[in-house]
Structure 1
């Protein structure tokens, strides 16, 4: 078994398992991709220990906390995560700053006989690594930005590109949001900003910089999340490929892709209220009435004609520097076969 050594975030792939020793709430906020959560202290225990520290001092907090840590470590050692691991298992453990929580777990693991190591600086060092990776990797990527009016099935084209072995950065999947006013995923909360950036960094790390990377043209915000500024700037300067579909094809696609909006008509009407300042009270009230009636064909047709389409070309020209020299892929319809054909056409453009 090798001696304990400080492990850098970029060396984490050399280990069999990455274990996050922080509490469940910390893990949920963000964590190293692929990490397993084995809390040394859960959220309530952390609260108790913190209260003792402030009210009675470090010794009492450590005495009580030490008993909790010992009990939790015993439970983890008997759990499926560790119980059947071979002697050559190499886990990497981290906590918030690479301190007592991960240190105690590593110590017990090494007593068992595993070559456990501790991530130097803990999650904080990994977080710095994420920010650095985005800053360093983004300028080197060969970005191709897929653009198109609302309802052009850009996300489906990206999925078809992925199936064909192309490199794709799906920002909407990372953000759990479609990017538009009505783009919230039903029943799926967005991740934290940190977790969003972690997902982006992980995707960039897996990319081959000598090959194109396809991404959908997004605004700087997707739902409540902000796209990292270096990526925004790189997207603005990248080559654009426009998916061009007829209004009829786009409306048919939207009615399928957003059909779930009719499941909660009142919630849809409330979201449309955000457009009153831009579209006027009378227009939005009509849209809200259609939403409450479930008249999605009428609603989506007017949203396209009066809201999305009038701003589309102007906003694209403003935000994408290569808009004037964009290349286009024409699609007559947006069924599965048509989307596959569009992906093939995108790849043919190089």
Structure 2
């Protein structure tokens, strides 16, 4: 039975439907969807040539040029790739930018090899508009922020709450100077798309209010979507007041143990240790002006000595020294100042479990 082309965008995302993106690689790299795979009809240079031809000579000439560029073995290789995707994902769909000519040509070529595969009506543009609308819908609902000094476990809490939205997870960045992961941060569009799908699933589960971590305008190189950011400026705030030793353990696990493991998994033992040390050094360098040169040199020396000790003996204790300085002399004063400007919006304070229970009851 032939499946119809799809206009139910909500179900596509709720079901994590496999999507085959027929746009050029440059379009895909700027932003796609969490379940999308790039299998372009045309490569970047081919798309550029066809676009130029369209402007100068019209659609018919552009289509003719496209068939000349993607023909013979080139066409066969691409269609074989599409066919493999379709057979592996019989419930999926293909899409181009607007659900127009590229989708229709791809669909036609697949039919020539015995595959009848539907496309998304409206294409990428319609899917993207749907997700932007979803973000705006969430921003209009009640929002509560969870705040607290660095190491308070705010991201952990957001993920433990049924109505929590993890902005940092969607951005693939922890937001701080030490916030990058081994894997690259998502593009702005990918960040927004991942966040919107998360929102959509929360709404489908019946959530009608959200808890977010207290963030600034930017998370790494990504910007919090404006509707969400505006809602956060008015939101009530619950603050985690965990003691220093508890926060140090969280930072040690996150910035040191996890990152060392991930770098070595990605690059191998020797190169991984080098990359791990460089990650910590570069992160420290990014805040050198605020630390001051003398304090920066002191903390960097302690940090790198701790890395060497960790690599040689497995001893982690040296990391407590530089992390303590970082919290007491940099992060805590900075956040205390930022929090003072939001004092009138603070409605609850307590340790981690107390704040989590209070938020869960709301």
CA-to-partner distance for each residue in 1:44-102, whole Å, 9 max, x for gaps? 654676688899974762242341674245313541x22477xxx66532112333321
Are positions 1:74 and 2:85 aligned together?
Answer: no
Equivalent residue, structure 1, for 2:334: 311
In 2, are the aligned partners of 1:144 and 1:214 still within 8 Å (CA)?
A: yes
Alignment of structure 1 residues 33-112 onto 2, 5 Å:
33-43=34-44, 45-46=46-47, 58=62, 61-67=65-71, 70-72=75-77, 74-76=79-81, 78-79=83-84, 81-83=85-87, 91-109=92-110, 112=114
Q: Partners of 2:351 and 2:345 in 1: how far apart?
A: 19
Shift of 1:288: 1.8
State the partner residue of 1:327.
348
User: Deviation digits for residues 21-41 of structure 1, max 9, x if unmatched?
Assistant: 123443343223323433223
Match of 2:322 among 277, 292, 299: 299
**Length-normalised TM-score, structure 2:** 0.77
**CA–CA separation in structure 2 for the residues paired with 1:227 and 1:251:** 27
The TM-score with structure 1 as length reference comes to 0.79
Give the match's secondary structure for 1:178: coil
**Deviation of 1:221 (Å):** 0.6
Aligned residues: 328
CA deviations over 1:135-161 (Å, ceiling 9, x no partner): 233112x32211111111122223333
Q: CA deviation at 1:258?
A: 1.4
C-alpha contact (below 8 Å) 1:158/1:168 kept by paired residues: yes
Distance 1:348 1:14, change over 3 A: closer
In 1, are the aligned partners of 2:175 and 2:218 still within 8 Å (CA)? Answer: yes
Contact persistence 2:239–2:355 (CA under 8 A): no
Could you give the per-residue CA deviations for residues 293-320 of structure 1, whole angstroms, max 9, x where no partner exists? 2242221111111111112222023257
RMSD: 3.4
Name 1:338's counterpart in structure 2.
none
Give the direction of change, closer, same or farther, for the CA distance of 1:47–1:58 in structure 2 (3 Å limit): closer
Q: 1:20 to 1:312 in 2, by over 3 A?
A: same
Go from structure 1 to structure 2 and tell me whether the alpha carbon gap of 1:296 and 1:51 turns closer, same or farther (over 3 Å shift).
farther
Structure 1 unaligned regions, length at least 5 = 332-340
Change (3 A) 1:278 1:36: closer
Secondary structure of 1:327's counterpart equals: strand
Q: Work out the CA distance in 2 between the residues paired with 1:248 and 1:62.
A: 63
- Runs of 4+ residues deviating >6 angstroms: 1-6, 50-57
Residue in 1 that maps onto 2:231: 234
Q: Is the aligned partner of 1:282 residue 2:298?
A: no
- Give matches, 1:111-190, under 5 Å: 112=114, 114=116, 116-120=118-122, 122-140=123-141, 142-161=142-161, 166-185=162-181, 187-190=182-185
Structure with higher helix content: 2
